[in-house]
A and B are shown apart, each in its own frame.
Chain A
Amino acid sequence: MSVSPEHFTQATEIAQRLQAEIGRAVVGQSDAVRATLASLIAGGHVLLEGMPGLGKTLLVKALAKTFAGQFARIQFTPDLMPADVVGHAVFDLKNQTFAVRKGPIFTHLLLADEINRAPAKTQSALLEVMQERQVTIEGESHPLEAPYMVLATQNPIEQEGTYPLPEAQLDRFLVKVMMDYPSADEELALARLTTQNRVGDGLDVAAVNTVIKPETVVTLQQVAAHVRVDEQVLDYTVRIVRATRDWPGIGIGAGPRGGIALVRLARAWALLEGRDFVTPDDIKHCALPVLRHRVAITPEAELEGLDADRLLRGLLEQLPAPRA
């Protein structure tokens, strides 16, 4: 596919409209919205982490509505089995054949709520599908319809009785988005919006308009893949990723997949910024969401009260920007 400058302009317009539409339902959380949208355009999956009630489900529902995508939600529990997620084959007595009953995973946007509550077996089933983008039931492969994106949430509190995702599986997520409490003004606007002339506290995405079709998202992804990345920017990306491996306070650095993910997200980010080329700024902006779940900090740093974000910020501050 050849991509002309007009394509880039159109893609940017669409991406910015999608962002604006999501903003009609989700008050505040602009960084989370932007990172989630960029991940969709980059074709990656998102791990959302934040306290309960910060609008994680609303964000996903609003995003699904913007491109008329199907949306499914699975509440992960300790007794959830892989078949409950991916589906299973049942014997049809009338036809004397096995009929495949597809699980909720067959959708465009899947919200895997509290993924760390399910046992490792179920988590692995989901993570495998995320990687392969196809489901095998009774030996038969069922490809998932594009665009396909999993948004898994984790609750930073109530760690009792959870099965934390292993580092290797965390790597499957393109970004880890932290949702923080909204600012005072945002919270005031949120309270006003959700309580005025409204019954109940249900999430309302009625204000969100559908902008594109699911196929357009695939086109957007293709356009984003053609965003230019200069050699120096690529070099800067690799230097950042390599620096995480021997940076004081970081025990396990990011692997090569981290660098690849960083470039992918930076391309989508540049598109959202209205550019058809990636700048070091895009890389710097994307570094935290892409790398924070791919590095493991040392126990000493943890005891000092440092976290991955703070260490990575220090790294980005000190690592020289590319030589133009």
Chain B
Amino acid sequence: MNLDQLQIDARPRPYWQAIDLGMALLRRHARTVYLSWWAIWATLAGLLALLTPQDWLMWNWLVLWWLRPLIERSTIFILSRAVFNEEVGVRDTLRAWPAQLRLGWLRTLTWWRPIVIGRGLWQPVWQLEGARGQFASQRRRVLGARGAYGSAAWYGVICAHFEFVLQFALISLLGIFLSDPDSITPFLLLQDEFAPGSWENHLPLFTYLLSGGIMGPIYTAGCFTLYLNRRAELEGWDIEITLRKLAHRRSSQLLASGKAAATLLLACLCWLALPAPEAQAAPDCSQLPKTNKYGMPVRATASRPASQGSAQTAIRADIDRLAAGPEFSVWECRETWQAKKTVEDKEREADPPPKWLQDLFGDFDGPNLPVAEILKVTFITLLVLLVAWLLFRNRALLGRLLETRDKDPQPTPAHEICGLDIRPESLPDDVPSSVLRLWRDGQRRAALALLYRASLSRLAHAQQLELAAGFTEGDCLAVARQAQQRGTLRAATLEFFTELTRHWQAAAYADRWLDDERFSSLCRSWRASIGDER
């Protein structure tokens, strides 16, 4: 990369200016860029239109959209050379395009990269820098930092909207012309479903071809100059270029004067030979007074007055022995690098947070704040409570849903129909005798009720008729009729049950009773008709 050849003013710009620079670049090389783009783009679209099965025609534009990152590489190829004053033609681009894909085309199309809307910023990392793996990830992170990725993503969002508007407008325009003259609707082509083989099935692909063909290079060019801007910012291209220019100017002068060159060389050497500022500031250990940690001089051998007696001599010996010990005689000079304290650090030190806050948050600089843990647990608890509350609030709805699911199978046999207990164990052993006894005792209602419920019990338990609790007499009769039609119930049984139901209804709801003889005959025929069904 020769920065001297750079055709753009490489300086750190606001990101929107950088994107605008891309537009300017694209305007200058529009012919080559668009022709190259369309040559590949239209070919792919044509192939898709031909190869897609009829049923999937409405969706083949998604394949084109998926392949778009590959076509973007042709634009990057042209523009990356154009910024270094290297003109490439359409033919060169098309010839070079397969080679441009070689670098990580699979990774570009897989994982989530095609749907990453700010991928335009990263494309040159794979294509131009040839970065792979961990290094590529680092490069993407560095390039995307300081809001660069955000700008690329928002730019992508704007371009996607323009694309959508173009696509929609095209469909609407066609819709207006194809509408019935009496009811013109721009939504005609959006509403209708078209017959297989109809040209309208190709509309999504066609409109995406046009909108993507217009907006694709615009997006790519904007992202490319954003990438260049970020690199200029990171690598100080402007400084390098200025220095190069200065160096060039100087060198031309120095070449004329060897003395000046020698002076510059000397100056450089002097500069290199100078110690680092920190090193210069650091005191030399040998120059420092040798004191122990109590500030007392080590090995104090200063002249002492003569001892005044043996006691004093003994004391001095003790002092010397102690002073020679590790506690007083060790002298250390340690040289370390230490980060300078920022103003904020100093302020923080000067004004520490209250103790309760420190207790709550722990170490502010620590990686895991206790409060984060507390918040995490709190949020999870709140989420669980929210779900529980929603379930509780919609319990009626859930109940109904479960109910309808349960209701679909056949209803469970009831123990009670029309208020009558129909469990076999609730019936006497000899039903007709018990019924007649009740009848003779004047308990006509009880007698008829017993006969009716005994019949129901036999039908429900012996004949396995499915009788539900909400069934009326008519419902029970209808179920019996269905069973007879299926052949699971004898005709005589049904006939008897029909007659009994009629009498029961007349007695229960109209207080109309059958005579003794008729009742006796009903009891007699009960055993033959239903009573033997066990």
- Interface-forming stretch among A23-31, A37-45, A256-264, A279-287? A279-287
**Given A232-B508, A233-B509, A278-B509, A321 and B419 touching (CB < 8 A)?**
yes
A304 contacts B by Cβ under 8 Å: yes
Assess whether A95 is interfacial by the CB under 8 Å rule. Answer: no
B98 at the binding interface (Cβ < 8 Å): no
Task: Note all chain B residues with C-beta closer than 8 A to A214.
Answer: none
Check A165 for interface membership: any CB of B closer than 8 A: no
Query: CB distance A317 to B474 under 8 Å?
Result: no
Tell me whether A279 and B474 are in contact in the complex, defined as CB-CB below 8 angstroms, given that A304-B400, A324-B419 are known contacts.
yes
User: A277 to B509, alpha carbons, bound, how many Å?
Assistant: 7
**Which of the segments B1-9, B354-362, B464-472 contacts the partner chain?**
B464-472
**What residues of chain A lie closer than 8 Å to B469, measured between beta carbons?**
318, 320
B418 interfacial contact with A, CB 8 Å: yes
Partner of B472, one of A228, A249, A279: A279
A248 and B399 in contact (CB under 8 A), knowing A322-B419, A324-B508?
Answer: yes
A316 near B470: Cβ-Cβ < 8 Å: yes
Identify the closest chain A residue to B512 (Cβ): A277
| A277 touching B510, Cβ below 8 Å | yes
Report the separation of the CA atoms of residues A159 and B504 in the bound assembly, to the nearest whole angstrom. 49
In this assembly, does A319 line the interface, its C-beta being within 8 Å of a C-beta of chain B? yes
A300 interfacial by beta-carbon distance below 8 Å: yes
Q: Is the CB of B418 within 8 A of A279?
A: no
Distance to closest chain A CB from B427 (angstroms): 17
Does B420 touch A at the CB level, under 8 Å?
yes
Q: Is A113 an interface residue (CB 8 A)?
A: no
CB closest residue in chain B, given A233: B509
The count of A-to-B residue pairs whose CB atoms sit within 8 angstroms is 73
B474 and A276 form a contact (CB under 8 A): no
Q: Mark B121-162, 1 if CB is under 8 A from A, else 0.
A: 000000000000000000000000000000000000000000
A279:B470 contact, CB within 8 angstroms: no
Within B399-450, which residues are at the interface with A (CB < 8 Å)? 399-401, 407, 411, 416-420, 449
CA of A322 to CA of B418 in the docked complex: distance in angstroms? 6
A276–B449 CB distance below 8 A = no
Shortest Cβ gap from B477 to chain A (Å): 9
Residues of B within 8 A of A230 (CB): 508-511
Report Cα–Cα, A78/B139, bound state, in Å: 72
Query: Which residues in B have their C-beta under 8 angstroms from that of A276?
Result: 510
B418's partner among A248, A275, A278, A324 (CB-CB below 8 A) is: A324
Could you give 19 example pairs across A and B, Cβ below 8 Å? Answer: A230-B510, A233-B509, A248-B400, A277-B512, A279-B472, A279-B505, A280-B509, A281-B475, A284-B472, A284-B475, A301-B400, A314-B407, A317-B468, A319-B470, A320-B416, A321-B471, A322-B419, A323-B419, A324-B419
Instruction: Give A residues with C-beta under 8 Å from B.
Output: 228, 230, 232-233, 248-249, 275-281, 284, 300-301, 304, 314, 316-324
- Taking A232-B509, A322-B419 as known contacts, 7 extra A-B pairs with beta carbons closer than 8 A to each other, sorted by chain A number, are A230-B511, A233-B509, A249-B400, A277-B510, A278-B509, A281-B473, A284-B474
Which residues does B use to contact A, with CB under 8 Å? 396-397, 399-401, 407, 411, 416-420, 449, 468-475, 504-506, 508-512
Q: Which 6 A-B pairs have the closest CB atoms?
A: A323-B419, A281-B474, A277-B510, A324-B508, A230-B509, A280-B472
